[in-house]
Amino acid sequence: MTGTVEAKLAALSITIPAASAPAANYVPFVISGNLLWISGQISMANGSFMTGKLAGEADIEAGRAAARQCAINLIAQIKAALGDLDRVKRVVKLVGFVNSAPDFTDQPKVVNGCSDLFVEVFGDAGRHARSAVGVAQLPFNVSVEVEAVIEFA
C-alpha cells in the first residue's frame, strides 16, 4: 500500500532513486533519538552530476533544478533510513551549499528549489529552518549540495 508521501511523489511524477552510498569515510545518515541527520546530498540525477558555478556556467533556474534534485536525493536517504516516508514528523533544518561565483548573492533563490519540494511533498511538516551558503567550490563541480535534519515518529 502506498503511503501519503509516496502518493504525493507519484502525483508529481517523481521517482525516488536508490539512496547513494558514501563516497568517502562517512555514513549517509545518523539516527540519534528521534532525529535523522542526513549527510550532504549533491546535485546528481541518473548517475550524472548537475554542474556549474552559479552566475558563471549556471543560471538561477539551473541552480534551482539542481537543488530540487538534492531534495529528491535527500528523500531517498530518508526512505533508506526510515523505510516509510510517512514517518517524517518534521523537516527541522536544511543547509544548502551553492557553488557560487564571487559576486553571486542569490543563494536563497537557488536553495528554494529544495525547500519548495519539501513543502510540496511533506506539507506543513516540510517547513524548516534553513541556511543557504555560497561556497567557492563543491565536489565534482556540482552546483548544489544540501544536508538535512529530520524529526521522525
Which residue type is seen at 94? Answer: L
Asked if the structure places residue 28 within a domain, the reply is: no
- pLDDT at residue 3 above 90? no
Beta-bridge mates of residue 98: 134, 144
Quick check: is 112 in a domain?
yes
> Residue 1: pLDDT above 90?
no
Domain that holds residue 116: 4-20+37-152
In a domain, 32, yes or no: no
| Cα 13 from Cα 94, distance rounded (Å) | 23
3 state SS of 4:
helix
Q: What angle do CA 4, 18, 2 make, to 5 degrees?
A: 20
pTM listed for this prediction: 0.96
pLDDT at residue 84 in the model: 96
Q: Say which amino acid occupies 121.
A: V
| CATH code of the domain containing 137 | 3.30.1330.40
- Domain assignment present for residue 54? The answer is yes
Residue 30 belongs to a domain: no
pLDDT tops 60 at residue 36: yes
How many domains does the chain contain in total? 1
- Would residue 134 count as lying in a domain? yes
Cα 40–Cα 126–Cα 100 angle in degrees, nearest 5? 40
> Residue 25: inside a domain, yes or no?
no
pLDDT digits (tens, 9 = 90+) for 74-92: 999 999 999 999 999 999 9
The verdict on residue 65 lying in a domain is yes
